[in-house]
Structures are given as structure tokens and as C-alpha cells.
Structure 1
């Protein structure tokens, strides 16, 4: 996927699945861009305040903590959608086309199951933090609001891997994600 293609993502999935995939992609892209810009702005303002006025913003660290969690867990779904996760592919690359296709479907389904399991456990953690009623010292709001992005990020990533499995099961090509073809696909050995 080139830089110009990644600016405006359109899912290759059919019907409602494609519309939902495209909508989630736009939301993730907005969250990531906004989060990175806000973190940079917050850090710059804090540095100027510290060196220019002798005192930094007392809440700056908490804001950056919130933004790091948001960016991380919005980013895992984004990376899955664009086929950007790290892959160990030595054995996979040696397989024939049909073997790679089957392995890619299995990888996608197993990864989706792991993501949903992590979403469940992180949801349980968010509930436990909610029940304790802990608050951020500087900003004064409940900490569980920060961590709500963790189960959401895992769930969205799980959905993305299920969509990748679906795309591979219904398409003649091999896809790393719903819109990214496997670049190692050997077209002459597809039979």
C-alpha cells in the first residue's frame, strides 16, 4: 500500500462489512492523528512552560499517559488493517500457495481468538479499576476512563483479523489484511 492509498482507505470487503471496516478505519486514523498531535502539543507547551516560566504543567504527564494508551490500542487495529504487524514468515514463505493460504486463514482466526481473549481480560481489569474508584491526582477523573481503550482496541483488532480470515476464505489471492495482498504470492504456482 502506497502512502497515497493509505490516506483514503476504502475496504475491499463486500456490502455492510466493507462500510463498517471503512468507518472503523476512519475513526482509528482520526484518533491516531489527533492523539499524536495532542501529545506533541502538550509536550511542547510543557517544555516552554517549564523553561520559560520556571514551572511545567502539573497535569502534562497524565495527559500524555492517556494519549499513549489511546494511541497504542487504536494503533493495533490500524496496524492489523494495513498488514503492518511483525510476521515470522520463514516457514510460511516456503509453503506452496495453497499451504500459505490455509496457514494465513489459521493465523488470522487464532490471532482473532487471542485478541478477543485479551479484550475479555482487559475488560475485567477495567471493571476492577472502576469498582475501586481510583482517580487521577492532577486531572481528577476516574482512571478507568483511560483504560477503556484497551478492551476496545483488542476487540477491534480481533474483528479485523476475523475480516482478514473471511477475505482469505472468499478470495483467490492471499491477503495479509482485508486490503493488503501478500507480496510473496507466487502467481504461477496457484494451481
Structure 2
């Protein structure tokens, strides 16, 4: 029987992780589609009607910020961040587990620190009263996604620490085990 079915902490983490995953997936899908629509609208406006819509540039900026910071956590959840792992892969399992716990913990703390700094920056932007000229909304609303993205990414890495402390195997994220899967070629499958 899997340890995560016994351990209530891991069950809770899996539930939170699944909810966050669904929210991020929707945000990423909507953000990418919105970027495509506003870019196409901008191109049509410029080349067919010979008139630039300034609102599309501001909308694309907003959607890029959302996609970037929702994608940050999404990549952490799916073990998709770039890793230099040649030496790491050659180490024994116990050493890899210690290293991944250390890296995930430090990365988690760093993400929380960046969330704090970005929130402080948002307070400064709020005090400045800046607004987006074409849309007319305060700029700080756009930047709210930055500390949210850093915080959720920090949680994701912290969940990875907990998962590795609770499970026997080594995990790159809460649901991605460390290691490589072998791919069978078609000749082996026919035999």
C-alpha cells in the first residue's frame, strides 16, 4: 500500500496540490488563448484598418505576467525547471534525496523572499497611483500576480520537501519521481 494513502499530511498536500494544479491550468490556458486573441486583433487592426489599438499591448502585458507567474509554479509542480544533473544522477539514492530536500527547501525560501519583495514593490506602486493609460486600471492590480506566483511556487517546493521527507523514493516535485523511464523500441515490443 502506498504511504501517501496512509499519511494524512500527504493526503492533504495532494488535495491542495490538485486544486492549485487545476487553477493554474485554467489560468495558463485562458492566458495563452487571450494572448493569441489580442495579438491577432492587434495585427488585424494595424494592417487591415491601419490603426493601432494601444489596449492590446497593455492586455498582452497583463496576460504575459499571469502566464509567467502561474507557469512558474506549474513548472515546479511538474519537475520541468532546468536542472544540471550529470553529477546528481550518478549519486546514490540517499545522497540524491538529501540534495533534493536541500535544493527544494532553499528554493522554497528564496521564492517566499521574492514574494515578500514583490509585495513591497506593489505597495510602492499602489502609493504612486500609476494607472494603465489605455485600460485605466491601477498598475498594482497587474503586479498582484507576481507575489501570488512566487508564493504558490514556494509552497510547491516546500511540498516537495515534505514529500521527500515522508516517502522512500526521491521526488523532483510532489508527483514526479526522480529517475528516467526506459522507452522500448518497436522491435522489442514485437517480440
TM-score, length of structure 2 as denominator length: 0.87
Aligned length: 173
Residue pairs, 1:99-138, within 5 angstroms? 99-138=95-134
What is the CA–CA distance in structure 2 between the aligned matches of 1:30 and 1:184, rounded to whole Å?
A: 29
Cα distance per residue 1:99-143 (max 9 Å; x no partner): 001101111101000000001001100111011110011111100
Shift of 1:54: 1.2
Q: Which of 91, 104, 107 is the matching residue for 1:95?
A: 91
Cα pair 2:10 2:163 within 8 Å, conserved: no
Cα pair 1:93 1:184 within 8 Å, conserved: no
Cα pair 1:130 1:142 within 8 Å, conserved: yes
Q: Which segments of 5 or more consecutive residues in structure 2 lack a partner in the other structure?
A: 1-8, 182-191
Task: State the partner residue of 1:14.
Answer: 10
Q: Which segments of 5 or more consecutive residues in structure 1 lack a partner in the other structure?
A: 1-12, 186-191
Task: State the partner residue of 1:40.
Answer: 36
| DSSP-derived class of the 2:67 partner | helix
- Tell which deviates more after alignment, 90-99 or 163-172: 90-99
| DSSP-derived class of the 2:172 partner | strand
- Tell which deviates more after alignment, 14-23 or 168-177: 14-23
Cα distance per residue 1:12-64 (max 9 Å; x no partner): x7332211110010000000000000000011011112111111212111000
Cα distance per residue 1:61-117 (max 9 Å; x no partner): 100011111110010000000000001112212221110011011111010000000
Residue pairs, 1:140-155, within 5 angstroms? 140-155=136-151
Say whether 1:161 aligns with 2:157.
Answer: yes
What is the CA–CA distance in structure 2 between the aligned matches of 1:87 and 1:174, rounded to whole Å?
A: 15
Task: State the partner residue of 1:7.
Answer: none
Shift of 1:184: 4.8
What is the CA–CA distance in structure 2 between the aligned matches of 1:42 and 1:177, rounded to whole Å?
A: 34
What is the CA–CA distance in structure 2 between the aligned matches of 1:182 and 1:73, rounded to whole Å?
A: 24
TM-score, length of structure 1 as denominator length: 0.87
Cα pair 1:134 1:143 within 8 Å, conserved: yes
Which has the higher Rg, Structure 1 or Structure 2?
Answer: 2
